[in-house]
Chains A and B, each alone.
Chain A
């Protein structure tokens, strides 16, 4: 893999460089998961694949949605829809920190001029029943990544331990490109025949979704969908392992997990609509966690999850 020299010039070039860097380090380049998620961690390539003993190395971009962070495209840093770059390697290699620093160099951060720091940040996802220890990585005082050694997911001890890297792409790119407002960031090459900024692509959608998220989404429908997802998840998981049609053992961990993802996102939407009180909040989080836990239970009953007949 040839190293691209010089500073990147666009958002997409940073993504491309990360892709080629991690590909060169042996990761499978996966695509985004095709559902609404709050963070790259929700992709089954991370959540489910961090369980069990099968080795794994994957990297991908994940569009992520956090309805409460919507600012109608006006805040220079906050978006309700943004991109994360996610790397998961199991077992975590001993040189993961060096590999990570290499990725920063690949996107044009000169270690001789910048101040990179690993600052304690323990990660916990109450909705996934997961936690790990690690850092937020600072570049000149800015958080550019989360670096986590997964200890538990879905209530299961991770053995071996996965190393997870999450890059907040917009923030990182803005820093590398020297842009102050996310909407001004060049998305493609500024010298392209049709140069486009991030704002050209996302300003309007940020406005539309902010209005919908905060004021328009039908909360009754959402509440119903939340409950339906819960029911569907339980129904899927209640099926016997052996498929009566094919006679094969097919534990439907992924379809069930899709329902968990759905419930989690609907919860975020309800939260943005302001209809969840502080006391209810914990209860909802607990319900999503219960789904995640059941999906984890199911996944470890599958081949990918380490189940052996």
Chain B
């Protein structure tokens, strides 16, 4: 059984692509071989910066001959049909066999596909693989049209067995396959011939090439940690960097150098980021002081001076880099100590999103919101507002401009330097969290308030302009933001009615954007075509903004007001626009919450007729958007809770209850219900409840009345009936007071006490009694079950 060795030798392949490319080579080659009937025992892919290598063991020497039988037309079928069949099968008529079948005599063709030698198949599959290789980015070079990640120089393709080895002949745009390769670019540049994988890897080793990326990574890490350890230090772990560095060398040589003392005062994160991003150095830490004191670099060669020149060069480059970082740090500290005013001012020139305004406008919104949220999370409103105002100031700093990944962290350092309260400084860093599902959630109250405000502003903003995530597209990471809010609320046990915040945020944003766009419109005393053009432009702008689009397209008559077009020259569209045009002023005058401004405003002046209509429409649209956002939250929450083992129907039963925008309450309820439903009492009570509910619903449908009158124990005849009356009376009070105290477990416990009386009732009592008074009383009793249990959760949607 022959073995196959392939090496694709090129100019330097980007480190981040090597491993994947090795896997792609393996997959595409082996899939192609298998498809052509060439099975194999094993395959493995390896890579270095200059080569992709694939070794396939135990290949078949040739693909097996395949015989296929095809059923053709009937004997005596038209010639055309028979000829078509012959063409398809590649046979002549005398090669067909006539066979009698229950449906008459039919032609059969027996087609033999002869096996092909492995080399033919390999050459074909390899050419297809090379020509269609899935590089993230590929290029042409010279005069050719072949595409590869960087110029491809040679192809080694060798089939070997006990008898020896032979080159699989292949010519791709002038690159002819062969049996030779080259060693390390500088240490062993000459070409050499190989006979098979073992020979190949042994010779490469002698030619200073470590073929296996895992082996290179392992060697680098071993040597780095040893050198650090020998000096009482430790290497800061960085798996991503290790993988990258192993992809930059064929012959790794680890060198440890010192960081100039003048830079040791820089924040460790800055040292680490600068060294990793610019130089691909590992940081070496002194475990006693936790300071980064040295660096590790990985060279691609041995030298006569044991790397002294290389290390000196690297050290010099690092000093220049860190001098930059120090320059940024010192400049930034100066601005910070002056109160960061230049930074916050600069943010008014930075666009956050073209429909949502500048970073400054966004920060103002977040600050106002943080102030309002603060009491619900136990934060001081002044501190929360102050923190929100400076939390993004570092986006204008030189350090963050250079290293965007340090945003937030630098904010903390600079806020500290500015002498701001520690909670404020902490919030600058923590308010971005949690970013991922495994990220820690901030717990300090001020941080929680700003983190919530930041995320809620983003969510309500994008909701207002109708930029919601769809399918796999979520360019503004809104799902992540919603999950962040969910975790912030739950892990801090915060009780916040989100819906009202949604309404206020979306409503105020819509009002603000309206003002921004239309502020001049009514005060320029324009008329005629000029006014018409302005109105047209304003309408165009507003219709890009989801909320306004709906308001302007709404049917105003729904609000009980017919069109009141005071100026016959205006079109419907213009009249609508003028109706909304001064709502920002009306809102400002009302000095109340958004949700109540339409109610609280005195619209009695007849000129206000259109405005009142528009204001009410606006509030309704905003409430609809807010409700939609809340249901987006509920969807995220369901995913989140399902991962924690809470059934979706249990969650739905709780979402159906009032107060479902207080996620902490909602989850408490859901957890209690989940526990309850796992108990015997729970499942049995649910049966009883559903039975009661079904009988009641059917009776109500049949009788056309609602049995909500409340039963009376004096009409009860059976002992089980009387017992149920008593049990319900008892548990009703207990359940209400438990619910008032938000003690859902206790409420479920009291509900559990109903199980036995309900079971007993259904066992011995016939609801549909012949006596209509008794029947009505029993139905009213069932209603009491529905009503009492219904306070706890909507049990109708719970399965089981």
Chain A residues proximal to chain B, CB less than 8 Å: 75-77, 91-94, 97, 111-120, 122, 132-135, 139-142, 149, 151, 158-161, 163, 175, 180, 277-279
Q: Are A279 and B318 in contact (CB under 8 A)?
A: no
> What are 21 contact pairs spanning A and B, CB under 8 A?
A75-B324, A75-B327, A76-B323, A92-B151, A113-B304, A114-B303, A114-B310, A115-B301, A115-B310, A117-B248, A119-B12, A120-B15, A133-B138, A140-B314, A141-B310, A141-B317, A149-B151, A161-B142, A161-B143, A278-B350, A279-B351
Structural contact, B354 and A116, CB atoms closer than 8 A: no
**Top 7 closest pairs, chain A to chain B, by CB:** A140-B313, A120-B14, A118-B12, A141-B314, A115-B299, A133-B139, A160-B143
Compute how far the CA of A82 lies from the CA of B174 in the bound complex, rounded to whole angstroms.
42
Cβ–Cβ < 8 Å partners of A135 in chain B: 12
* Beta-carbon contact of A112 and B304 below 8 Å: yes
In angstroms, Cα B324 to Cα A97, docked, is: 31
Q: Mark B306-321, 1 if CB is under 8 A from A, else 0.
A: 0001111110111010
Q: A97-B11, A141-B313 are in contact. Are A277 and B349 (CB under 8 A)?
A: yes
Q: Is the CB of A279 within 8 A of B354?
A: yes
Q: Which of B139, B143, B349 contacts A149 (CB 8 A)?
A: B139
B186 touches A111 (CB 8 A): yes
* B297 contacts A by Cβ under 8 Å: yes
Nearest B residue (CB) for A116:
B186
Looking at the complex, which one of A119, A122, A134, A161 makes contact with B140 (CB distance below 8 Å)? A161
Inter-chain CA distance A139–B14, complex, in Å, is: 17
Chain B residues whose CB sits within 8 angstroms of the CB of A112 once the complex forms: 186, 303-304
Complex interface: chain A residues within 8 A of B305 (CB): 113
Whole-angstrom distance between the alpha carbons of A132 and B140 in the complex?
10
Expressed in whole angstroms, the Cα–Cα distance for A205 and B743 within the complex equals 77
The answer to the question of B300 belonging to the interface, with a C-beta cut-off of 8 Å to chain A, is yes
What's the Cα separation between A207 and B235 when bound, in Å?
43
Could you tell me if A160 and B142 are in contact, using CB atoms closer than 8 angstroms? yes
Set of chain A residues within 8 Å of B354, measured between Cβ atoms: 279
Binary contact readout B277-309 vs A (1 if CB under 8 angstroms, 0 otherwise) = 001110000000000000001011101110001
Q: Nearest chain-B residue to A71 (Cβ)? A: B327
Question: Quick one: which of B139, B301, B309 has the most chain A CB within 10 A?
Answer: B139
**Smallest CB gap from A278: residue in B:** B350
Complex contact B141–A92 (CB within 8 A): yes
Cα distance A159–B143 when bound, in Å?
7
Whether B297 and A92, one on each chain, are in contact in the complex, defined by CB atoms closer than 8 angstroms, is no
**Interface presence of B87 (CB below 8 A):** no
User: Assuming the A-B contacts A76-B320, A141-B314, A159-B140, are A94 and B151 also in contact, with contact meaning beta carbons closer than 8 angstroms in the complex?
Assistant: yes
Interface string of B178-190 (1 = CB under 8 A from A): 0000000010000
> Which B residues are CB-close (under 8 A) to A141?
279-281, 297, 310, 313-314, 317-318
B133 to chain A, nearest CB (A): 14
- CA of A208 to CA of B143, assembled, Å: 47
A278 touches B186 (CB 8 A): no
Could you say which of B142, B280, B303, B318 contacts A94, with CB atoms under 8 Å apart? Answer: B142
Chain B count of residues within 8 A CB distance of the other chain: 48
A149 and B324 CA atoms in complex are apart in Å by 30
The closest CB in chain B to the CB of A75 belongs to B327
- In this complex, what residue of B is CB-closest to A163? B141
A47–chain B nearest beta-carbon distance, Å: 19
Known contacts A113-B305, A119-B15, A120-B15, then 17 further A-B pairs from the complex at CB < 8 Å, ordered by chain A residue: A77-B324, A91-B142, A91-B143, A111-B186, A113-B304, A113-B310, A114-B313, A115-B310, A117-B12, A120-B14, A140-B311, A141-B297, A142-B317, A149-B139, A160-B142, A163-B141, A279-B351
Q: Please measure, in the bound complex, the distance between the C-alpha atom of A132 and the C-alpha atom of B151, giving whole angstroms.
A: 13
CB proximity of B11 to chain A, nearest CB, Å: 6
- B306 → chain A closest CB, angstroms: 11
Please measure, in the bound complex, the distance between the C-alpha atom of A140 and the C-alpha atom of B329, giving whole angstroms.
26
Query: Are the CB atoms of A94 and B140 closer together than 8 Å?
Result: no
How far is it, in angstroms, between the C-alpha of A77 and the C-alpha of B14 when the chains are bound?
Answer: 27
Partner of B317, one of A92, A140, A149, A161: A140
Minimum distance in angstroms from A82 CB to a CB of chain B: 15
Query: In whole angstroms, what is the CA distance A132 to B138 when docked?
Result: 10
Does B526 sit at the interface, judged by CB under 8 A? no
Does B150 sit at the interface, judged by CB under 8 A? Answer: yes
Cβ of B153 under 8 Å from chain A: yes
Most A CB atoms within 10 A — which of B12, B137, B145, B324?
A: B12
Output the residue of B14, B281, B304 with the most chain A CB within 10 A: B14
Within 8 A of A (CB), among B22-47: none
What residues of chain B lie closer than 8 Å to A163, measured between beta carbons? 141
Pairwise interchain contact B11-A151, C-beta atoms closer than 8 A: no
Residue of B nearest to A171 (CB): B320
- Residues of B contacting A76 in the complex (Cβ-Cβ under 8 angstroms): 320, 323
Contacts of A133 in B (CB 8 A): 137-139, 149-150
Q: How far is A149 from B145 in the complex, measured between Cα atoms in Å?
A: 13
Q: Is B206's CB within 8 Å of the partner chain A?
A: no
Q: Which residues of A contact B314 (CB under 8 A)?
A: 140-142
Contact partners of A161 in chain B: CB under 8 A: 139-143
A122 pairs with B137, CB closer than 8 A: yes
What is the CB-to-nearest-CB distance from B744 to chain A, in angstroms, rounded to a whole number?
50
Q: Which residue of A lies closest to B49 (CB)?
A: A118
A97→B143 CA distance, assembly (Å): 17
Interface residue? B70 (CB, 8 A):
no
Bound-state Cα–Cα, A134 to B140, Å: 11
Residues on B with beta carbons closer than 8 Å to the beta carbon of A151: 139-140
Residues of A within 8 A of B280 (CB): 119, 141
